[in-house]
Amino acid sequence: MILSVSDLKVSEGGNMSEVISDQSYRAKPWFIVMTVVVMVFWVGAGIFLVNYFYLITGSYTSKSVLAALAGCVLLILLTVFGIWEALAFWRRFQLTLSPQVITQVTGPETHSLSLDEVTDLNWLSMSDEIILNSPTDKLRINLDHFKRRDQHAIIAFLREAVPLEKQEKWEPFSEVRRHSIDPDTPLTTREWLMTAFWLMCTVSVGYQWWTESAWQWLVVVITGIWMTIRSYRGA
């Protein structure tokens, strides 16, 4: 069930609806994809540098070529380690919401917060975080860790489960995170224009990369594609 912004503005003293139920959410694997992209980048950079220094020195055993090769191998190994750590984080990470308690598992740590003990809930639009405070503990939920539809469910749950008088900064949050609150919300004119802007920039830089074959342009192209997708998704 998808709720709109108005649906989430529940009245005080409202009953716990079907929105409130035991649900568990896993982190989306975007950071794994990013680490793989980084590794591919280092492989490409290594091939480029080795070929570049070979054309200058005329030998694959020159100090410049060997130094470039060693540096790229080291960076690739570090990236592989990062992928391993990302996979470990993804396997362990879990957020569980129930009518009584919120539990978040992040690696070896487990944080639990009773809903009855929540003193205030802060909706942070700039950092995409939700912070729940109690007299003895604090729970920080980063929405960017979750898929768009899971973000919607988490927001709907907390809007219903925590009394409205304890919730702060909802209005600016609801404006910035419209697409998390309702994933089916259409893009605004400004969002369409930003998407078109990033797309045109990406195509322009992509042409530069194609004609000049400079790896620096490829980095900008990848960044532009990422920004275009984020803008199109209303992020």
Residue 118 predicted with pLDDT over 90 = yes
Closest CA to 229 of 148, 173, 158: 148
**Mean pLDDT, residues 67-71 taken together:** 81
Q: Are 210 and 29 in contact (CB under 8 A)?
A: no
DSSP tag of 131: E
For 93-111, how does the pLDDT look when each residue is reduced to its tens digit (9 = 90+)? 889 999 899 999 887 788 8
Q: Name the token pair of 209.
A: 């990369």
Distance CA 29, CA 68 (A): 31
pLDDT attached to residue 80: 78
What is the spatial distance between Cα 28 and Cα 16, in angstroms, rounded to a whole number? 28
Chain centre distance of CA 162: 25
pLDDT score at 121: 95
Mean pLDDT of 79-97: 79
Is pLDDT above 90 for 119?
yes
pLDDT at 164 over 80: yes
pTM over 0.85, yes/no: no
With beta carbons less than 8 A apart as the criterion, state whether 149 and 1 touch: no
